[in-house]
Structure 1
């Protein structure tokens, strides 16, 4: 189990992470068998968190290789799931067009393309909402599209968030998007961001993924306050923030509540949340042995864990640094 901590390893960056069923279905769909994705989502049922994560990963594939979604729609015109995949695919392309740099390092051409594709994603998101009235996730796709011009859509964003939460009060992706939208680097403030993270974390039952959202808020705060452009050069200042007793206490509270209902599963958001906890412990210098146990079931699965990129220029570099710390 601990073998990867004793020798160099190559992080696995597949967005599906530990969900091997998702990997297999996506690969078969991209190879031409779109029914693999259909059957996977039918089997997922109303497990909204798992369904949302699987739709997101399939949506990435739909953005870059839409032909299998075209075949699905041709065989099943008006299929509700296709509408979600269309919206997700456009959201992926919009994000690719903008890039991950700060605003000052993003060109006017990148912003223009981001806005153009986001408008298409918003239109597709409206259709997805209409065709999937019980599913909270299409509302999240609408929220994502509003990141392109959030100042004009602040009220619309809150309406969409309310609609998603009416269908699933502790929907992880909805609350995650709210924390992002309301952080200072987007359209809110530190106070709004922490409230968006802490309120559902406090109200949710033990074991719910949303209880870990305050960790993300701390990552966002440190990124904004102690150097966005410098990243690794400002790592010392960011780590000093995480050494504050109140921050360490909140990290421990989140971890305890998240694990109070039993060991959380790896699929859905299980891998990402383990990375968050390991990163928070590393930055605070707290509970090295416990962090080793947190990372052990993760193996080499990294996927896309954006929080590592708040402290290192490459996500894999952060994962490797934390893994080295727990050896």
Structure 2
């Protein structure tokens, strides 16, 4: 090794878990059963949480991801039984099938034929979700899934607002529904930074202490960061674009701190999305180079790595290594005295 070469530091040895940012043993059993072709356990897992929208929203999303390719057969079952849980799962699975067709890249990378199939498959989700909503009128989750479908179908703002009213008339802090609404108001979907940030702030202000909906603040700022970075890249300012993630979160840290404190000031309530929220705050504090807060949220993640918001500025195939670098820097190394204040 040359005198001026830098020795590559070893990454911490951690059992990083990706694509499983929740702790729900019932859901794990249901997923395993569904993967073997048995739906009884999955439907039972949905039925038992009809009055717990956060749990229900998580379970139906995860199960739908595992059942891609089986939406039509779920509709056939629902038509026979009239079961609202089966209708909900069918609608959600159509949404996942649509996104599997489209892919999650930029619209410019999607061909016309794939877009036609995407829209056609998304439209199939609407009727089952309406059936689920009619079957359980107080259930917010079919409307939350309807919002996802409406966003993909590029529904007009009046329709999107009407679906949002249906959601908020049934629940006030449904984490995935608030995240989808954040996307609807984002600049990339035709909204604006100002409206999206205002929504995030009002949502956090209205939420009870100890609720991870506070993560809407860092998530909204990641949307601004992504838009600003892409604008710099398009204008050939590549160096400024590369520097932006760190400088951006240093500037907005006070607002992120306030949101984090509202969540963590008391013992946080158990919540299906807590690990996702810790990912959002951890990523923000890693970029802001704030050792104490970064360490707290990295530890609280318990090595459950969620794609969002890390993949806003890190390529997917590098996520694990970059997370481990951050863990080594902020968790395994004790902060210097000056960093304590």
Q: How does 1:234-253 map to 2 (within 5 A)?
A: 234-244=241-251, 247-253=252-258
Q: Which residue of 1 aligns with 2:299?
A: 296
- After superposition, what is the alpha-carbon deviation per residue over 1:219-278, rounded to whole angstroms, capped at 9, x for unaligned? 00000001279699734212211111xx1011111111011231343x510110010010
- After superposition, what is the alpha-carbon deviation per residue over 1:267-306, rounded to whole angstroms, capped at 9, x for unaligned? 51011001001001011111x233223222433322x432
Q: How does 1:83-94 map to 2 (within 5 A)?
A: 83-94=87-98
Q: Which runs of 5+ in 2 are unaligned?
A: 1-9, 333-341
Q: Determine which structure has more spread, i.e. the larger CA radius of gyration.
A: 2
Question: In the TM superposition, what is the alpha-carbon distance from 1:71 to its structure 2 partner?
Answer: 8.9
* Equivalent of residue 202 in structure 1, options 200, 205, 210: 205
Alpha-carbon spacing, 1:187–1:236, altered in 2? closer, same or farther (3 Å): same
Aligned-partner SS, 1:8: coil
> What is the TM-score normalised by the length of structure 2?
0.84
Alpha-carbon spacing, 1:228–1:145, altered in 2? closer, same or farther (3 Å): farther
Q: Distance in 1 between matches of 2:163 and 2:43?
A: 26
Q: Which residue of 2 aligns with 1:260?
A: 265
- After superposition, what is the alpha-carbon deviation per residue over 1:164-210, rounded to whole angstroms, capped at 9, x for unaligned? 11000222222111101110011211112112211111111111222
Q: Which residue of 1 aligns with 2:83?
A: 79
Q: Does 1:191 align with 2:198?
A: no
* Equivalent of residue 48 in structure 1, options 45, 53, 64: 53
Determine if contact 1:63/1:86 at 8 Å carries over to the other structure.
Answer: no
Q: Distance in 2 between matches of 1:102 and 1:185?
A: 10
Aligned-partner SS, 2:139: coil
Alpha-carbon spacing, 1:263–1:148, altered in 2? closer, same or farther (3 Å): closer
Alpha-carbon spacing, 1:230–1:46, altered in 2? closer, same or farther (3 Å): farther
Q: Does 1:112 align with 2:119?
A: no
Alpha-carbon spacing, 1:42–1:117, altered in 2? closer, same or farther (3 Å): closer
* Equivalent of residue 126 in structure 1, options 104, 125, 130: 130
Q: Distance in 1 between matches of 2:165 and 2:257?
A: 29
Segment of structure 1 superposing worse, 29-38 or 269-278: 29-38
Q: Does 1:219 align with 2:222?
A: yes
Determine if contact 1:239/1:284 at 8 Å carries over to the other structure.
Answer: yes
Alpha-carbon spacing, 1:57–1:230, altered in 2? closer, same or farther (3 Å): farther
Alpha-carbon spacing, 1:41–1:261, altered in 2? closer, same or farther (3 Å): farther
Determine if contact 2:71/2:91 at 8 Å carries over to the other structure.
Answer: no
Alpha-carbon spacing, 1:323–1:107, altered in 2? closer, same or farther (3 Å): farther
Q: How does 1:145-156 map to 2 (within 5 A)?
A: 145-150=149-154, 152-156=155-159
Alpha-carbon spacing, 1:227–1:9, altered in 2? closer, same or farther (3 Å): farther
Alpha-carbon spacing, 1:25–1:67, altered in 2? closer, same or farther (3 Å): farther
Q: Does 1:33 align with 2:35?
A: no
* Equivalent of residue 9 in structure 1, options 7, 14, 24: 14
Q: Does 1:278 align with 2:285?
A: no
Q: Which runs of 5+ in 1 are unaligned?
A: none
The count of corresponding residues between Structure 1 and Structure 2 is 316
Alpha-carbon spacing, 1:39–1:127, altered in 2? closer, same or farther (3 Å): closer
Q: Does 1:182 align with 2:185?
A: yes
* Equivalent of residue 21 in structure 1, options 26, 31, 42: 26
Aligned-partner SS, 2:277: helix
Q: Distance in 1 between matches of 2:78 and 2:329?
A: 48
> What is the TM-score normalised by the length of structure 1?
0.87
Question: In the TM superposition, what is the alpha-carbon distance from 1:139 to its structure 2 partner?
Answer: 0.6
- After superposition, what is the alpha-carbon deviation per residue over 1:11-54, rounded to whole angstroms, capped at 9, x for unaligned? 32234533233112211232233222233234334221121111
| Superposition RMSD in Å | 2.7
